[in-house]
Structure 1
Amino acid sequence: MANTKKRTIVCFGDSNTWGYDAETDHRFNDEIRWTGLLHTELGDAYRVIEEGLPGRTSVSEDPLFEGLAGISYLYPCLMSHAPLDLVVIMLGTNDTKERFALTSYNIAQGIVRLALKARASGAGLDGKAPEVLVIAPPPIGAAYIHTPIGKSMGSNCSEKSIELSEHLAALLTGTDIHFMDSREDVSMNEIDYMHLDQQGHRNMADLVQYHVKRILN
């Protein structure tokens, strides 16, 4: 009898994994979100689990909102869905907020810390390490500061987000963690300049699908 075990992927991220639609202030449906598109493209041999939370950071506790630090939720999250074949981590956009006072390098350090924790979680098959893919999110557009979200985000978010991918690539070089830079193929919307629009979700799904097949096949 053929082995029908599904490959399980957890997508751990923020509002761009949750699927926030800046035009309506609601959530894109399954057919639009990149995680839903990814599941459709990969087919029934895969199980894609969405673990997106608006406002989530990599390691910083938000003084204004509860429960947003990814570092404290990652382990129970992964173990609850185990065994896993792949953990996809896409964070960093919220970490650029001025109130966290982090440099782009600090943000990259926090994301790498998450990735290493995922690898060491034992959430893979038979308690082994799952594969981990870190995605550098598309940069925040400079015009975000002139939108209503600019007051909450604070200054220099765009600049830090632009620098993030370079630091992530350097810090992950020589590790067994996979890296994907989305900035050349995916862009943010032109409403708040920090969330994916429908085309952005489509492009993200296509790009992630390529890396999933490269890693797991």
Structure 2
Amino acid sequence: MNKKHIVCYGDSNTWGYCTATGGRYEDDARWTRLLQEQLGEGYLVAEEGVCGRTTVFEDPLNEGLCGFAHLATALNTHSPLDLLVVMLGTNDCKQRYSATAQNIADGLARLVTRAKQLPVWAGEPRVLIVAPIMIDPRVHQVPRVGQEMGEGCVEKSRLLPALMEQTARDTGCEFMDCNPYVQPGEADWMHFDAASQARFALALEAKIRVLLSGRS
């Protein structure tokens, strides 16, 4: 049976970072795995999340985190694709990138435009942009995390949903905001808490079923 192939391309919130443990949520607790379970046998959901990944920026401190640079390899690995789900932008808010919220949205536009150009699609390219979780101001009460993110991260993250919705319109992509369905864990105020995994998976499942309902 040919299944509908979905790639979830993101950062630590796609990888499944658990604020309570500092490690990864268990396989049956991550939203990506819950999404697979809920969609069922007719779908194949690929986890392509890397902690620290950006849209288009090269991290001067850590290698391999530029989402644009690794996009073609990741998508070719799982081709042919029916849907690409992109949830990036949180790490771009780090002070060391000196990016405005609009810069981040423009980087996302570059990434999804390239994704649609790649010869990896089962049919017409279909990309779902998901606005990432907004960073809670209390992130700066956690010195390790607040210092890593730097000044301005909260403010930039709060501008992203509206800017990314416009990016989706401009690039012919679908759009979803994760924020109505998720809450940050209290250990760092920027990663999905445990209860958010299931809520987000359910909301995303409903969106995906609508988007792919006409594909055989």
Quickly name the TM-score band, shorter chain normalised.
over 0.9
Give CA deviations for 1:121-168 in whole Å, capped at 9, x if unaligned. 12112xx44311010011010000110211111011111101001111
Alignment correspondent of 1:197: 193
Name the amino acid aligned to 1:97. Answer: K
Within the candidate set 124, 135, 140, 1:145 is matched to: 140
Asked if structure 2 preserves the Cα contact closer than 8 Å seen for 1:17 and 1:50, the reply is yes
Within the candidate set 98, 113, 118, 1:116 is matched to: 113
Q: So what's the TM-score if we normalise by structure 2?
A: 0.95
Query: C-alpha distance in 2, partners of 1:27/1:105?
Result: 31
Asked if structure 1 preserves the Cα contact closer than 8 Å seen for 2:113 and 2:171, the reply is no
Asked if structure 1 preserves the Cα contact closer than 8 Å seen for 2:131 and 2:177, the reply is yes
Asked if structure 1 preserves the Cα contact closer than 8 Å seen for 2:182 and 2:193, the reply is no
Asked if structure 2 preserves the Cα contact closer than 8 Å seen for 1:141 and 1:193, the reply is yes
Asked if structure 1 preserves the Cα contact closer than 8 Å seen for 2:59 and 2:65, the reply is yes
Query: C-alpha distance in 1, partners of 2:183/2:71?
Result: 26
Alignment correspondent of 1:67: 64
Give CA deviations for 1:189-212 in whole Å, capped at 9, x if unaligned. 122011011111111111111111
Name the amino acid aligned to 2:128. Answer: L
Name the amino acid aligned to 1:63. Answer: P
Distance 1:175 1:69, change over 3 A: closer
Query: C-alpha distance in 2, partners of 1:180/1:145?
Result: 27
Q: So what's the TM-score if we normalise by structure 1?
A: 0.94
Moved more, 61-70 or 187-196: 187-196
- Residues 1:177 and 2:169 aligned together: no
Asked if structure 1 preserves the Cα contact closer than 8 Å seen for 2:112 and 2:171, the reply is no
Q: Partner of 2:180: helix, strand, or coil?
A: coil
Query: C-alpha distance in 1, partners of 2:17/2:211?
Result: 28
Structure 2 residue ranges without an equivalent (≥5): none
Query: C-alpha distance in 2, partners of 1:11/1:170?
Result: 21
Within the candidate set 128, 134, 138, 1:133 is matched to: 128
Asked if structure 1 preserves the Cα contact closer than 8 Å seen for 2:86 and 2:129, the reply is yes
Shift of 1:112: 1.6
Identical positions, percent? 42
Query: C-alpha distance in 2, partners of 1:53/1:197?
Result: 18
Query: C-alpha distance in 2, partners of 1:100/1:129?
Result: 34
Q: Partner of 1:16: helix, strand, or coil?
A: helix
Shift of 1:98: 0.2
Name the amino acid aligned to 1:151. Answer: Q
Moved more, 164-173 or 46-55: 164-173
Alignment correspondent of 1:161: 157
Could you say what the CA RMSD is over the residues aligned between the two structures, in angstroms? 1.1
Asked if structure 1 preserves the Cα contact closer than 8 Å seen for 2:20 and 2:185, the reply is no
Within the candidate set 25, 32, 35, 1:35 is matched to: 32
Q: How many residues align?
A: 212
Shift of 1:174: 4.8
Structure 1 residue ranges without an equivalent (≥5): none
Query: C-alpha distance in 2, partners of 1:173/1:19?
Result: 28
Moved more, 95-104 or 201-210: 201-210
Asked if structure 2 preserves the Cα contact closer than 8 Å seen for 1:9 and 1:84, the reply is yes
Alignment correspondent of 2:76: 79
Moved more, 170-179 or 184-193: 170-179
